Structure 1
Amino acid sequence: MTPDRPIFTHRLSASGSESPRADAGEIFPYWSFTKTVIAICALRMVQDGRLDLDAPLAGFDFSLRQLLDHTAGLPDYFTLPTYGAAVAQNEEPWSAEALRAATLAQGRLFAPGTGWSYSNLGYMVTRDLLEEVAGRSFSDLLQQMICAPLELRSITLAQTRRDFESLHWAAAKRYHPGWVYHGCLKGTAADAARLLQGLFEGALLDA
């Protein structure tokens, strides 16, 4: 999608402080940048001793690390022709169960740890795992682990078409974020930059 204005007009100084030329109010879909946020939450739970990064997950033959780095061998739902057709026709999202079954029906791509292939399904499984272990929604984990510590006020989880009505990109306003099964965050470009800065400076995870 091509925005009708520059995507990111906000500038940061070398110290991370804002310049007076910030344009901080425009809201964008974070798309797969959401995966970075899921990974941060997962690693925070590993850091806190609530998850093991390298042990096989219960009921699976792959580890959390392999889910996060796309080496679990899981297929991707983007390769389903029916998925692409349904999105193109602006249909309502399938149930999570139907999507998972259709994706897995394509078969495993390789044994865990023996290859690499990008998998949205892997991050869907990861989000489900985080919510199950934490007993809280991904939205709650996002606020607790990332937004509150860094004081990021624009970032939220989009779940309905109405949630996309505030986007700066007109072409995305009618898209249903439910088609992004691991979740699609939205927020300002400035808060996305602050999130990454907080990560790199050690405000979210230890070394």
Structure 2
Amino acid sequence: MLRYAKVFGAACVLALALCACGTDGRGNAPAAPSYADVGTILDRLTGADGAPGALLEVSDAHGRTVLTRGVANIDTHAPMVGDSRFRIGSMTKMFVATVVLQLVGEQKVGLDTPVEQYLPGLIKGNGNDGRDITVRHLLQHTSGLPDYVQYLDLTELVRNPGAHHDPLDLVNLALDHPRLFAPGNGWQYSNTDYVVAGLLIEKVTGQPYAEEIERRIIHPLALDGTSVPGDDSTIPGVHPQGYARPADALLDMTGINPTVAGASGGMISTAGDMNRFLTALVNGQLLHPSELHAMMTTRPAEDGSGSAYGLGLMSTPLPCGGLYWGHDGGIPGFRTLSGTTPDGRTATAMSNQYPGGSDAQISDMNTAVATALCEGKLSHGS
């Protein structure tokens, strides 16, 4: 996700309570999940934790369940709507990585080919060298490239949220700083990696990365609530306002120009669309087996969460056993998380405040998704 800790003091903490799982031992058909525990967590998220509103959608064999809490607008007190559109932040990376891996499958891109071959002269200076960084390094955050977000003028971003940011300027902002480590010799989440990946897509295909995402993913899956807005600062359709909390008061950041995130986090979607996309991705509808295997080959994220990072896709342990695949996101105004389990339960959550707020707010969103993914197992009655 885009991280704005320098100004807002946001921190990401994963704290999942242990739960017991099993079958009822009587051979009875499992009951439909109630998701009552998830509702309680969302109550806490929009109560004690201070988020204005939240929503969570679960898709499984029983169908679709949507839970909403709180408000979409703190001035009008309009309630949160389940089919709302919202900015998804770094969940955009799953879409970008999918397009790059499709190009790998088409033999137009090599995972272990240096970035220099596709974008000559782009990455150089302060030890950063595109001749040493491969496409795989970009997608897995093992490039050693500094994260440009750490060097943005965030005061100016708050003052002028509609300002355009050119991707080359974002990359150059990162390259003004020394590399973090030799490519392949460490792991550090860097939004710069995916801005470069977006430029690579454009260079290889001759089309902007947005058009390739639309052509290859959004249209085939009929993701009608999903878009790559480019310079458009508006969110179309029904949507909540998105807030940040730089101090005690909430600041409306709904109209931020998403070019500040670009290919690293600029997309808009809905919970239902995200569930459909993630299910299709993990089920092999978008990638050939070899590319999906590469995407799901992980290394520890080294952030203390127990998660592991593949190529734009993360695995995270579940408190009821096993793991889920997905990604989180954070862009001024919105915090998001999507995950899917091997047996087909998929959940997406959103709160309309980021960054700012307490660590508990971020923790409870993670807990809500994990609990929703476990709830089907728990409904068996252990």
Q: TM-score, normalised by structure 2?
A: 0.49
Structure that is richer in strand per residue: 2
1:117-156 matches, within 5 Å, as 117-156=188-227
* Matched residue, 1:85: 155
Distance 2:179 2:229 in 1: 30
What is the identity, as a one-letter code, of the residue corresponding to 1:155?
A: T
Gaps spanning 5+ residues in structure 1: where?
none
Change over 3 Å in CA distance of 1:3–1:161 after alignment to 2: farther
User: SS where residue 187 of structure 2 aligns?
Assistant: coil
The alpha carbon displacement at 1:31 in A equals: 0.5
Pair 1:176–1:133, CA change in 2 (3 A): same
Aligned-partner Cα distance in 2 for 1:51–1:187: 27
> Quick one: which amino acid aligns to residue 168 of structure 1?
P
Aligned to 1:181: 262
Given the alignment of the two structures, is residue 168 of structure 1 paired with residue 240 of structure 2, yes or no? yes
Task: Tell me if structure 2 keeps the 8 A contact 1:75–1:104.
Answer: yes
Residue of structure 2 in register with 1:196 after alignment: 278
What is the aligned partner in structure 1 of residue 90 from structure 2?
32
CA distance in 1, matches of 2:193, 2:143: 8
Structure 2 distance, partners of 1:119, 1:125, is: 11
User: For 2:165 and 2:210, how far apart are their aligned partners in 1?
Assistant: 21
Would you say the 8 A contact 1:165–1:174 is kept in 2? no
Q: How does 1:37-76 map to 2 (within 5 A)?
A: 37-57=95-115, 58=117, 59=120, 60=130, 61-76=132-147
What SS does structure 1 have at the residue aligned with 2:202?
helix
2:60 and 2:168 map into 1 onto residues whose CA distance is: 46
**Runs of 5+ consecutive residues of structure 2 not aligned to the other structure:** 1-9, 11-49, 69-80, 121-129, 244-252, 290-382
- Please state if 1:101 is matched with 2:147: no
The residue number in structure 1 matching 2:58 is 11
Cα RMSD over matched residues?
2.4
Change (3 A) 1:3 1:20: closer
Deviation string, structure 1 residues 101-143 (Cα, Å, up to 9, x no partner) = 2221111111110111111111011100011101112222112
Sort the Cα spacing of 1:20 and 1:158 in 2 relative to 1 into closer, same or farther, 3 A.
closer
Contact preservation (8 Å) 1:11, 1:19: yes
Q: Structure 1 20/65 Cα, relative in aligned 2: closer, same or farther at 3 Å? A: closer
Structure with greater Cα Rg: 2
Q: Determine the C-alpha separation between the residues in 2 that align with 1:48 and 1:189.
A: 30
Q: Distance in 2 between matches of 1:174 and 1:71?
A: 32
Query: After the TM superposition, which of the residue ranges 136-145 and 70-79 deviates more from structure 2?
Result: 136-145
Query: Identity of counterpart residues, as a percentage?
Result: 28
* Segment of structure 1 superposing worse, 160-169 or 55-64: 160-169
Amino acid at match of 2:259: G
Change (3 A) 1:165 1:150: closer
C-alpha deviation, 1:87, in angstroms: 1.5
Given residue 45 of structure 1, which amino acid in structure 2 is its aligned partner? Answer: L
Amino acid at match of 1:194: R
Query: Where does residue 29 of structure 2 map in the other structure?
Result: none
Q: CA separation in 2, counterparts of 1:32 and 1:20?
A: 22
CA spacing shift, 1:174–1:117, aligned 2, 3 Å = same
The 1:131/1:98 distance shift into structure 2, 3 A limit, reads closer
Q: Name the structure with the higher helix share.
A: 1
